[in-house]
Amino acid sequence: MSSVPINLSLDFYSDSYRDSFSRINGIVIEGEQEAYDNFLCLAQLLPEHTEELIHLGRMEFRHRKSFEACGKNLKVHPDLKFAEEFFADLRQVFQIAANNQQIATCLLIQSLVIECFAIAAYNNYIPVADNFARKITESVVADEYLHLDFGAAWLKENFTTFKAEIESANHQVLPIIWRMLNQVEVDAMTIGMNKQLLIEDFIIRYGESLSQIGFSTREIMRLTSQGLGIG
Report the 10 Å Cβ neighbour count for 101: 9
Our finding on whether 64 is near Fe ion (CB under 5 A) is no
Our finding on whether 125 is near ligand PL3 (CB under 6 A) is yes
Q: How far apart are CA 162 and CA 108, in angstroms?
A: 11
| Closest C-alpha to 173, from 90, 85, 88 | 90
In this chain, which of 37, 79, 115, 201 binds ligand PL3, going by CB under 6 A? 115
Which long-range CB contacts under 8 A does 157-165 form with residues at least 24 apart? 158/104, 159/213, 159/214, 160/214, 161/104, 162/103, 162/104, 163/214, 165/102, 165/104, 165/105
Our finding on whether 137 is near ligand PL3 (CB under 6 A) is yes
To the nearest whole angstrom, how small is the minimum distance from the Cβ of residue 200 to ligand PL3?
Answer: 14
In this chain, which of 37, 79, 130, 144 binds ligand PL3, going by CB under 6 A? 144
Would you mind telling me the total number of residues written for the chain in this entry? 231
Our finding on whether 130 is near ligand PL3 (CB under 6 A) is no
Residue nearest ligand PL3, CB atom distance: 31
Could you tell me how many residues of this chain bind Fe ion (CB under 5 A)?
6
To the nearest whole angstrom, how small is the minimum distance from the Cβ of residue 153 to ligand PL3?
Answer: 17
In this chain, which of 43, 98, 114, 213 binds ligand PL3, going by CB under 6 A? 114
Contact 77, 22 (CB under 8 A): yes
DSSP symbol at 6? S
Run of H or E residues at 100: none
Our finding on whether 17 is near ligand PL3 (CB under 6 A) is no
Residues of this chain that bind Fe ion (CB under 5 A)? 32, 35, 60, 63, 144, 147
Q: Which residues of this chain interact with ligand PL3, rule CB under 6 A?
A: 24, 27-28, 31-32, 35, 60, 63, 114-115, 117-118, 121-122, 125, 137, 144, 147, 184, 188
